Amino acid sequence: MSTSFHITGAISSFFFLLSLVGLYSQIQKMKDIEASGKELRSSAVLSLNQFTVAFLAYFGFFIYGGSLRPINHYLMWPRLGAILLVLIILWKIYNDRRDFTSCISFFTLVGVFIFGVSFLTLSPSVEPVGRASSQLLIIVVSVLLAQGYAHQIWRIRLAGSTGAISWQMHLLTLLKDLSMLAFALTMPWSDGWPLYLLAAVSGVTKVIILWHFGWAERSDLAKKRRRIFEKSRRV
């Protein structure tokens, strides 16, 4: 591997670790809301759809990095931390909402994670199967990610508020996406195209979500929808 590969890989890993701080800030914000005793629910406005798809994105690159030969440690190990943090967020969403959908999402993804780790650990010929299946998963996840973030944007616009959403998480994830694009430039196209695809989809939607934090603060339409949303919650 070239020097530029390792340099950009290290930079990408650094920004990915920063994005883990963003995920942790989302967990902390949910805890703060729980401790405040306010009427706002700790999972208010959070999109279960978005976090489910985010898990699949991290999981896809975890399997992809582990199936490459040599193993791409820059892709694989940082995603493990993200997977665990997203599972915590999904657990807290389920614990707050106690509905069938959040229950199925959390426990299904725990099962998927256990299967993936077992596959990488026990399969003697993981590379061809793992590489092809993870690339297919990344394509599917890119489509679902665009849909998931669109759903999150729709929830913000419907409520006129960003609710329990952490802007730090989205900002740090955007920086991670930009560094991942730089990392992809040092890889052969056959290895790097999944990074281009997912980082581009994620980066564009993150910019739109971050813009909506300002929209929720300044827009008269947002204020009107916020009043309607708050009244509907009291009924």
The whole model's pTM is what? 0.75
| Confidence (pLDDT) at 221 | 92
Fill in the amino acid letter for 82: A
pLDDT value of residue 102:
95
Question: 17-21, 23-27, 35-39, 187-191 — which is least confidently predicted?
Answer: 35-39
pLDDT of residue 234: 57
pLDDT tens track for 129-144:
666 777 887 888 889 8
Q: What is the pLDDT of residues 141-190, one digit of tens each?
A: 889 888 888 888 998 999 898 888 888 888 888 988 898 888 888 888 88
Using a CB cutoff of 8 Å and minimum separation of 24, what contacts does 135-138 make? 135/64, 135/194, 137/56, 137/59, 137/60, 137/63, 138/57, 138/60, 138/61, 138/64, 138/194, 138/197, 138/198
Please state at what angle helix 189-218 crosses helix 126-159, rounded to 10 degrees: 10
CA–CA separation, 35 and 29 (whole Å): 10
The residue among 98 and 126 whose pLDDT is bigger is: 98
